[in-house]
Structure formats: structure tokens, C-alpha cells
């Protein structure tokens, strides 16, 4: 007889408490149930159940076989569900969290393309510079900048996050163009207030040279676009991701400062909770974002 069918019947007998109850649940005769159990016992050469007219009890072999059967059946169910999921159409709402500047300037266009490819998907995007909380926040995907090592979280590396310096022509006309990062200490610098050491900037330059500078920040903000506008207004030298500054640099509204140097790039990851069976929605989003944002 079919081994898998026999396992299912044995588990049903144990959990229902009798051959008769298992037969009723399976819509077969009690004789067929007994045939399944006898076939297993003959194959194993051991008794699985001690049966009397009033009750049945698992033998030591039966107890071990029961636990193994449950695991095998669960694995089979997972395998079939996963196979079906591969052919499923991604649908439903996807909840994503990302840092403010990266999310608004880089991630939003990518997510728009993803929704165009999968019309049954809707997205709720939260922009927050705090580390994503999947359990409390209910998020399915997140972008994290910086190192991460958390149990139960899968971190897929993306392109490192690169930040550049820029200033308006009016500011540089008044204060001059610095020629080395150390000269930034004499300038008005515009930096993120949410950094723990917002006045310490570590740069990497030609041939991998590094330079740490203590800067003077008369104006800080927790939002990159506010710093960008301050730079456009001539308030100082701004430090922001290249994607945030790209349009202004291309249009000449801002000028590059120390173009051979950039803040030491930060590692960036696509993160999500570990799951043995991701949905078609989540799997498709992971594949799409990795293809567009991977290193």
C-alpha cells in the first residue's frame, strides 16, 4: 500500500483515538484502516499500537513512528504549498519601511516600476530612519543602512550607500572651495541630526586614503531634503546621498565639493523576517528589488 497514505492513516488513528473514528473521518471502512496499520507493522516488523476492546495505546516504536510521521507529513504539505506558490500571482498589500532620503529618492521609483509589473500588488511605504521592527511594526520588507546582525532576520546586501559633498556657487564664492577634507572644519557644514556623532565625518578618497574631520554644523536636520534646500540657499556645504544631490548637480544649482572624496560608504541591506515559505508577493518583491538595487 502507499506509504504516505499509511502514515496519514496512522496519524489519524492516533489522534482520533480509535479505528472507527479514523474510518469515519477518512470516509473508509474500519477494515481498510486496519489494513493500513497492519501493512505498516508488517513492514517495520514491530507493533505500533497495543489494542484492546476498550482502548488503544502507542508502543515505544509507535510513539517514535508517530512523531516522525507528523514531521514527514508537515514537510510534504510545505513542499506542495511552496510548489503551488511558485505559480501563484503576486497579489495583496506589501508593507515596506525604508530610511527617509533613500526611500523618497531611490526606492519610490523602483516600487512604482514593481507595481506596474504586478498590477495586483499595492504598497504601503513608511519612511523612517529608525531600524525596522518587523514584529511590532508589521512590515514585510525593509531597507537598512549600516551593519545588522539580528536573529530571525535575513539581510541581503545592496549597493553600498554613498554620500557626497556639494554647495551653492554663492556659498563657495564667499568662503572658497576646500581642497582637502580637513579644511571642512573651517566651513559651515550641513549634516544629519540623527547621527549619533553628527559632527564627525569620516571620508575615503584617492587610493583608499581616509580622513576623519570634526565639522562645525550650524544647521542640522533630520530630513535630507531640508539640508538640500539649505545648501541651495547658500547656508553651507551639504553632505547627502548622491541620489539626493544628482539633479541639482546636473543642473548646476549645486557644485561638487571635494569630488574625489566621499563619506565612507555604509553597507546597505534588504531585510525581511526569516520564513520557510515566503508568499509570491514577498518573493517577487525581493527578486525585483535585488535586481534593481543589488551591488
User: Lowest-pLDDT range, 38-47, 80-89, 262-271?
Assistant: 80-89
**What DSSP element (H or E) covers 143?**
strand 141-145
Beta-bridge mates of residue 212: 202
User: In CATH, what class is 92-160+267-293?
Assistant: alpha beta
pLDDT band at 150 (very low <50, low <70, confident <90, very high): confident
Q: Are 237 and 184 within 8 A, CB to CB? A: yes
Of the given ranges (129-143, 212-226, 255-269), which has the lowest mean pLDDT?
A: 129-143
Q: How confident is the model at residue 107 (pLDDT cuts 50, 70, 90)?
A: very high
pLDDT in tens, 253-287: 999 999 999 888 889 999 998 875 678 889 899 99
Of 248, 169, 185, nearest in space to 177 by CA: 169
pLDDT digits (tens, 9 = 90+) for 226-239: 999 999 999 999 99
- CA-based nearest residue to 124, from 139, 113, 106: 139
Do 3-86 and 92-160+267-293 show the same overall fold?
no
How many angstroms separate the Cα of 33 from the Cα of each of 7, 37, 72, 74, 250? 11, 7, 20, 21, 77
Most confident segment among 60-74, 106-120, 218-232: 106-120
Span 74-103, average pLDDT: 81
Q: What is the per-residue pLDDT across 284-293, written as a single tens digit (0 to 9) for each?
A: 999 999 999 9
**161-266: CATH class:** alpha beta
Rounded mean pLDDT, 123-139: 78
Q: How confident is the model at residue 20 (pLDDT cuts 50, 70, 90)?
A: confident
**3-state SS assignment for residue 42:** helix
| pLDDT tens column, 168-202 | 999 999 999 999 999 999 999 998 887 777 788 98
Q: Check: pTM over 0.85? Answer yes or no.
A: no
Domain ranges of the chain: 3-86, 92-160+267-293, 161-266
- Please state, in angstroms and rounded to a whole number, the distance separating the CA atoms of residues 174 and 248: 20
Work out the pLDDT band at 244, boundaries 50, 70, 90: confident
The pLDDT, as a whole number, for residue 75 is: 83
φ/ψ region of 208 (left if φ > 0, alpha if ψ in -120 to 50, else beta) reads: left
In whole angstroms, give the CA distance from residue 184 to residue 166: 12
Q: Residue 166 is placed in which grid cell?
A: 556639494
DSSP 29: -
**126 Rama sector, left if φ>0, alpha if ψ -120 to 50, beta otherwise:** beta
Grid cell of 230 as nine digits? 539649505
Query: Given a cut of 90, is residue 223 above it in pLDDT?
Result: no
- CA 30/CA 223 separation, integer angstroms: 71
What integer pLDDT is reported at residue 137 of this predicted model?
A: 63
pLDDT at 101: 84
pLDDT over 70 (residue 85):
no
Contact (CB, 8 A) for 141 and 153: no
pLDDT-based confidence at 105, cuts 50/70/90?
A: confident
Taking the C-alpha atoms of residue 185 and residue 279, their distance in angstroms, rounded to an integer, is 51
Cα–Cα dist 71/66, whole Å: 9
Phi, psi of 63 (to 5 degrees): -65, -45
Residue matched to cell numbers 514531521: 71
Name the average pLDDT for the chain: 87
Interatomic CA distance for residues 232 and 216, integer angstroms: 18
Name the CATH topology of 3-86: Arc Repressor Mutant, subunit A (1.10.10)
Lookup: cell for 181:
577634507
Amino acid at each position: 500500500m502507499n506509504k504516505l497514505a499509511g502514515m496519514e492513516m496512522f496519524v489519524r488513528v492516533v489522534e482520533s483515538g480509535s479505528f472507527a473514528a479514523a474510518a469515519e473521518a477518512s470516509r473508509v471502512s474500519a477494515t481498510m484502516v486496519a489494513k493500513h496499520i497492519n501493512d505498516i507493522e508488517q513492514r517495520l516488523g514491530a507493533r505500533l499500537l497495543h489494542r484492546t476492546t476498550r482502548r488503544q495505546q502507542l508502543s515505544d516504536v509507535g510513539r517514535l513512528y508517530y512523531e516522525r510521521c507528523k514531521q514527514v507529513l508537515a514537510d510534504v504539505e510545505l513542499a506542495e504549498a511552496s510548489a503551488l506558490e511558485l505559480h501563484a500571482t503576486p497579489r495583496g498589500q506589501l508593507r515596506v519601511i525604508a530610511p527617509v532620503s533613500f526611500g523618497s529618492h531611490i526606492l519610490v521609483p523602483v516600487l512604482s516600476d514593481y507595481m506596474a509589473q504586478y498590477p495586483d500588488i499595492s504598497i504601503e511605504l513608511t519612511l523612517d530612519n529608525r531600524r525596522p521592527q518587523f514584529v511590532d511594526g508589521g512590515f514585510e520588507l525593509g531597507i537598512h543602512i549600516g551593519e545588522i546582525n539580528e536573529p530571525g532576520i535575513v539581510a541581503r546586501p545592496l549597493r553600498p550607500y554613498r554620500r557626497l559633498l556639494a554647495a551653492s556657487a554663492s556659498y563657495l564664492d564667499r568662503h572658497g572651495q576646500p581642497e582637502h577634507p580637513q579644511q571642512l572644519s573651517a566651513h559651515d557644514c550641513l549634516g544629519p541630526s540623527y547621527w549619533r556623532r553628527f559632527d564627525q565625518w569620516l571620508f575615503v578618497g584617492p587610493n583608499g586614503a581616509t580622513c576623519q574631520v570634526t565639522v562645525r554644523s550650524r544647521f542640522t536636520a533630520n530630513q535630507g531634503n531640508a539640508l538640500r534646500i539649505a545648501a541651495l540657499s547658500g547656508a553651507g556645504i551639504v553632505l547627502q546621498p548622491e541620489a539626493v544631490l544628482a539633479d541639482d548637480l546636473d543642473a548646476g544649482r549645486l557644485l561638487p565639493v571635494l569630488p574625489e572624496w566621499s563619506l565612507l560608504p555604509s553597507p546597505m541591506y534588504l531585510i525581511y523576517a526569516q520564513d520557510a515559505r515566503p508568499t509570491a508577493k514577498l518573493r517577487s518583491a525581493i527578486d525585483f528589488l535585488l535586481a534593481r538595487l543589488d551591488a
